[in-house]
Amino acid sequence: MIFANIGLIVASKMVGNRLNFAISKFKTMSTKSKVALVTGGSRGLGRNMAINLAKKGIDVVLTYNSNKEEADKVVAEIQSLGQRAAAFQLNAGDVKSFDNFLKQVTAHLKDTNGNTNFDFLINNAGTALYSPFAETTEEQFDNAINIHYKGVFFLTQKALPFINDGGRIINISSGLARFAYPGSSAYGSMKGAIEVLTRYLAKELGARQIGANVVAPGAIETDFGGGRVRDNKEINDYVAAATALGRVGLPDDIGGVVAFLCTEDARWINGQRIEVSGGVNL
């Protein structure tokens, strides 16, 4: 009887140990960080988005066009927050390079996470185009549309097999898709196209529980467009006067909104345009 009781105790401990191991493994799996891919994440708004995503406990893969040094600084900052990060070069307007780019990204994810998938795609990369409608050249137009529309369309399409069901797509637009300033007809109309595309993505990807939304910043103090809004006092004052909250936007005004849209609290927001502009031109 004594030996039988000892056997029962040993067996009970073995079952308990196995159960604890299973629970521990489940916790590890369930708390595994999600992953966001942020294009144009080495500077300006993209950098701020990447940092805010990391603060939400999300790992980040970011892209840069030419400045690897700045991208590496963002990677280091994300890692200092306890999240994984990596940077890859990408020309967001070169559709032919997308297959190779995604091959690099998914190989990295396979090595670090054990699978090739990610959860959030933030299409942020972009360049400025300030030119009156009557003077905009076909070359300027083609360069801009490759980055701001064609590139977004086909990078998203090619990334779809690697976006987890239940993931999110966030496209960055502009206040210039709602109101008009002379000199921004090409840029503003391309951002308008992105907003329509986003609604189609929300509709067509709903079966996979993938949400798609637009974040449309107003004028922000960054180096975008050569720092035009940040460094030109006349433009800065003009925008501030037209804004209900009385100032020009800062990167910190935008990054947190993008990060929020990648949380469970935002799970029921879908197919929406969220303008983050302080109330400009109301």
The answer to whether residue 149 is catalytic is no
pLDDT higher than 80, residue 244:
yes
Report the run of H or E that residue 89 belongs to, with start and end: strand 85-89
The answer to whether residue 277 is catalytic is no
Mean pLDDT of the chain: 90
* Active-site residue, from 42, 174, 185, 277: 174
Sequence-distant (6+) residues with CB within 8 A of 142 are none
Say whether 189 sits in a helix, a strand or coil: helix
| Whole-number pLDDT of residue 210 | 98
> Virtual CA dihedral for 167, 172, 178, 180, nearest 10 degrees?
-170
The answer to whether residue 64 is catalytic is no
* Active-site residue, from 42, 64, 173, 277: 173
The pLDDT tens digits of the residues spanning 167-185 come to: 999 999 999 999 999 999 9
Task: Give 227's pLDDT tier (boundaries 50, 70, 90).
Answer: low
* Active-site residue, from 34, 185, 187, 189: 187
Q: Which long-range contacts (CB under 8 A, 24 or more apart) does 97-102 make?
A: 98/154, 98/155, 98/158, 99/158, 101/63, 102/158, 102/159, 102/162
The answer to whether residue 185 is catalytic is no
Q: What's the DSSP call for residue 60?
A: E
Number of neighbours of residue 81 by Cβ within 10 angstroms: 14
The pLDDT tens digits of the residues spanning 3-57 come to: 555 554 445 555 455 545 444 444 333 347 999 999 999 999 999 999 999 999 9
Q: Where are the alpha helices (DSSP H) in the chain?
A: 2-30, 44-55, 68-80, 98-113, 138-145, 151-159, 185-204, 228-231, 233-241, 252-260
* Active-site residue, from 42, 189, 191, 277: 191
Mean pLDDT of 253-269: 98
d(CA 16, CA 21): 8
Protein fold of 34-276: Rossmann fold (3.40.50)
The pLDDT tens digits of the residues spanning 66-89 come to: 999 999 999 999 999 999 999 999
pLDDT higher than 80, residue 2:
no
Q: What's the DSSP call for residue 88?
A: E
Residue 74: C-alpha distances to residues 43, 64, 79, 97, 208 (Å): 8, 11, 9, 23, 31
